Structure 1
């Protein structure tokens, strides 16, 4: 039997594979002049061999256009950063790498975001010059220090408060367009609503007259092809004429606006701001933003909406669930943007020598960052290829970008998509996809089907039987969807007593279909009947079992209502509403050695970690502490699985874990995971004082955080370094709420200081920490805070990396 080996990786080079001893490039490179010499390998600009898959990568192929994440799956799994000789770009495919690139817009300049990815010929360039085409910097492709002042000056119309004024208009337009074809039984949704409504909304938002819709659509497509496409030489001149005409039309509209800039619209707002900040909002900048704004404000939304409806109709169960429960729509929008968004990739320029994912990238290198691939990265999204409209972290998607250059119009797009889905699920729940082949305008970045044919039986239109449904209205959430609104129904298959005051619940899908896969450390939120109480419980079963979720619940003597209700009320056959699974206590599967420590019911997440470590062949120890064996859940199962690796410390037997001895010798190759009572976790933190600072990872049971009392609080200011703005946090407001009001996306979950999902980085200022997530050392370092509960000390200003 031959020994299995991993592909070699040179220092600072991407992974490369070999076939029959040769790389693809070696096999296909032209022979040198000396026919007796071996063919030379194809190398990247840093001298690294280019793998066969990297050499073949072509984003203009149909495979990429149809499904970009699947097209680069091989890279995401094996070669996450690679050089594409065909494109002349380094391609980045993993979530963490891409998010890090978005965070650092000094090292990774956005200046090439609107550069033509395919250089055009002299004739096409001469055509553009004849129109005076001078597309310059916009919010998308501008470097610091110019970018932040402009973004700050022009941002107000994009805040959730301001966007609320547009909701009635979006609803009216959507209904009017559906009225036109509701009785036809068949429609091309792209042509008949999903292009024109977003374009009309975009023009309304910008303050542009609603004229020449078809012409603007043609111009917008030409701009996309000119910037991100690969037009053939014979097509380049035609595209150049369209883009040139688009540029001149934008200039004429802008000139007309200048005559009376008092009207509504973002461009008029910009003209007014130009009088206050003439050096920041310049003439050339306004002209470029006029043209880019028309494209950005509608094309991405039109494509995203078409992708979303196509995806939902391809998953009839998800479509049915939306029709039955419209409250799921906001999160469904996020999952559609994640799974099949309208922006496949962005571009950046490396301004200095840097490493990405361990690969050396030279200064001046061009990067294609495939955000659609990041959105399918299993390291961040469990079961990433599964389309799950209840996915708890769907809004982590990078379709809108991240950081300083995150799309300012993201919440306008969310609003439009929610209203589209509300209208279609209410009025055309019986709509189905027609038989068709989906085609896309070939380009690297923007994608959506050119046509989307659907059909239905008009005699079954619900409004014919119930005209009152036309008056129904589902509230639109402007901003990220709240995790508290995301739920799924499960059935209690069985309730088993597994220790004193501990029951184990096995929860299954009502229709018998698989549940989402989860990773060790994950939890679910359980709504406890009509008590108004929701509690988090770690999953303790087998992550590979997609037929059920399993939790173990301890009846707390001082229960706030959750565990007492579960023990008293639940029985087999009952239905529960849950949220999740979510994971804020994720196991690092690359660890060489693990020490797993559990106290009491804290065994639930630790048991899943131990099972996974066993499967992966990681060296591990499992230490389980409790009052007595009668009160310790899962003991027999743990003993069967882990044998001598399991160490049990039952207090009534006189056995206690000597944490000092267990953790006396720091080991850089070892990671420690612990869950249990606060006293145990505090002791562990003390024992780990000399260990590497990230060696110990813990999960708490409860938070003692009380409700915000404005009479005891002080207002403070938070300066957002990446966004260039200052947010005032009122005494009656959390930092998280203030950030969202300023159009800053921040993830959150429990909003009790328990889970750590709302963490933000602190650059300056003292923090009054009120969470139970950070260790003592982390609090003293003052480098991060939980925005849901923690505040600035004494009302001072803090500076955040946002």
Structure 2
């Protein structure tokens, strides 16, 4: 028998743009399933999927659940980006970039990433004062790693910091669109410089000097470059700071990591499962046909919100889901990076950066502590992170 959805739909977003460290309690109150919500900014009804198995179905069935083709108030725009493509076009445009993010490619970069993390921590500790792990470490580190991936000159990387901040600002979609256009224009010029310079190993070069890259238009290649920065920079920086914040406010967990650095890899996955990276449930989909999901009828043309962080706490998949167990054996099955054809392109690289940060921080600064400065969380953004995180590196 088909289930009736709630007759009184909760207003979404639940936190009204004022996200904090933890998921809004309404996610837990709703529980795993398919729930109708009212998108107050857009004045539209939508369905939110919070069940792990059902959400995997949504991710894997792009014929039924497709990216949005238009801007919706309150939802980060994906039109004209890799996240907004599907089917053969999505595979064609994505394929040249994959080589930069394979497990093998990331392993080859690990020594360099580790050295960069260690060097930045050493330089900050040498200052002999508390440091803001957000602005002084996480942001410059992740921007440097992604800049190297794309092949963006060091002197130009600050431009992406401004563009990225504007793009994830959910309070002004017009500004987000302008930031996207500016990024794409810069990357289009960079692609032309790569074409003239000859083959190289960076991502942009793969779009102008490889067989698969030549099947991608200049506009499409520029869009991929923008997506790498937007999807990877501030989200990874946010994860670094939210993970460190959790560990240093739960010193028993921190001491466990310090005592056993080999836990770093699994700890990253468990913290990905339990520390929400985003304050939005996206990228949203729209149904192409009438569909029944988890016993709930969803009409064609309906917006579907993918509540990854809620699904990561589905007790049917992760027993005792609210408990943080750094040694949880299946933590890497979390849905933080999505699944299916649109699984995050930079997943391997993001995990590697996070692992390097936790392992180097625990090994070099086992006495690291928060200064006690009150922590406020960024509002009105698609990224959930502390505004500042003042840490003493000991």
TM-score by length of 2: 0.90
Give the one of 208, 213, 230 matched to 2:152: 208
Structure 2 distance, partners of 1:163, 1:411, is: 7
Residue pair 1:84, 1:91 contacting (<8 A) in 2 also:
no
Indicate if the aligned counterparts of 1:436 and 1:453 stay in contact, CA closer than 8 A: no
Residues 245-301 of structure 1: CA deviation (Å, up to 9, x unaligned): 33322222222222224122111112222x5564x3122210111211222232222
Distance, in Å, in 1 between the alignment partners of 2:291 and 2:92 is: 27
Q: How far apart, CA to CA, are the structure 2 residues paired with 1:70 and 1:197?
A: 33
Question: In the alignment, is the contact (CA less than 8 A) between 2:377 and 2:387 conserved in 1?
Answer: yes
- Higher RCO structure (Cα 8 Å, ≥6 apart): 2
Q: Give the match for residue 576 of structure 1.
A: none
SS in 2 for 1:169: helix
Matched residue, 1:301: 236
Aligned to 1:418: 355
Report the Cα offset of residue 185 of structure 1: 3.6
- Equivalent in the alignment of 2:12: 57
1:276 to 1:95, Cα distance in 2 relative to 1, 3 A: closer
Q: Does 1:327 align with 2:262?
A: yes
Maintained 8 Å contact 2:239/2:277: yes
Kindly name which structure, 1 or 2, has the bigger radius of gyration based on alpha carbons: 1
Give the Cα–Cα distance (whole angstroms) in 2 for the partners of residues 388 and 119 of structure 1: 33
Q: Deviations over 1:18-43 (max 9, x none)?
A: xxxxxxxxxxxxxxxxxxxxxxxxxx
Q: Post-superposition shift, 1:423?
A: 1.4
1:286 matched to 2:217: no
Q: Any idea what SS the aligned residue of 1:146 has?
A: helix
Give the Cα separation in 2 of the matches to 1:238 and 1:392.
43
Q: 2:142 aligns with which of 198, 219, 225?
A: 198
Name which of structure 1's ranges 196-205 and 210-219 shifts more when overlaid on structure 2.
210-219
- Contact preservation (8 Å) 1:69, 1:373: no
- What secondary structure sits across from 2:31 in the alignment? helix
Determine which of 182, 186, 189 is the counterpart of 1:245: 182
Superposition deviation, residue 135 in structure 1: 6.3
In 1: Cα distance, 2:150 partner to 2:203 partner: 5
- The match for 1:174 is 117
TM-superposed deviation, 1:241: 4.7
SS at match of 1:68: coil
Residue of structure 2 equivalent to 1:448 = 385
Distance between the aligned counterparts of 2:180 and 2:343, measured in 1?
25
CA distance in 2, matches of 1:350, 1:268: 36
- Which of 439, 442, 457 is residue 377 of structure 2 equivalent to? 439
2:38 — aligned with what? 84
Distance 1:182 1:455, change over 3 A: same
- Map 1:68-79; keep pairs closer than 5 Å: 68=23, 70-76=25-31
Alignment of 1:366 onto 2:303: yes
**Which SS does the other structure have where 1:367 is aligned?**
strand
Cα distance change on mapping 1:318 and 1:295 into 2, 3 Å: same
**Whole-angstrom distance in 2 between the partners of 1:446 and 1:403:** 22
Structure 1 position 13 matched with structure 2 position 4: yes
Alignment of 1:123-138 (within 5 A): 136-138=80-82
What stretches of structure 2 of length at least 5 have no aligned partner? Answer: none
CA drift of 1:197 comes to 0.7
CA distance in 1, matches of 2:99, 2:188: 24
Greater strand percent: which structure? 1
Per-residue deviation at 1:173? Answer: 1.6
Cα distance in 2 for residues equivalent to 1:301 and 1:247: 21
Secondary structure (helix, strand or coil) at the match of 1:198 reads: helix
In the TM superposition, 1:582-601 aligns within 5 A as none
| Between structures 1 and 2, the one with greater helix share | 2
Mapping 1:9-408, distance limit 5 Å = 11-14=2-5, 16=6, 49=7, 51=8, 54-59=9-14, 61=16, 64-68=19-23, 70-76=25-31, 80-86=34-40, 87=42, 88=44, 89-112=46-69, 116-118=71-73, 136-138=80-82, 140-183=83-126, 184-225=128-169, 229-231=170-172, 241-273=178-210, 275=211, 278=214, 280-343=215-278, 345-346=281-282, 347-408=284-345
Q: Secondary structure at the match of 1:373?
A: helix
Structure 1 pair 150/237, CA: closer, same or farther in 2 (3 Å)? closer
Question: For 2:79 and 2:37, how far apart are their aligned partners in 1?
Answer: 29
Where 1:157 maps in the other structure, the secondary structure is coil
Aligned pairs for 1:635-784 (under 5 A) are: none
**What CA distance in whole angstroms lies between the structure 2 residues aligned with 1:372 and 1:69?**
11
Cα deviation code 1:50-89 (max 9, x no counterpart): x2xx333324525644422634111226x64213242523
Post-superposition offset of 1:438? 2.1
In structure 2, distance between residues paired with 1:414 and 1:239: 27
Whether the 8 Å contact between 2:273 and 2:335 is mirrored in structure 1 is yes
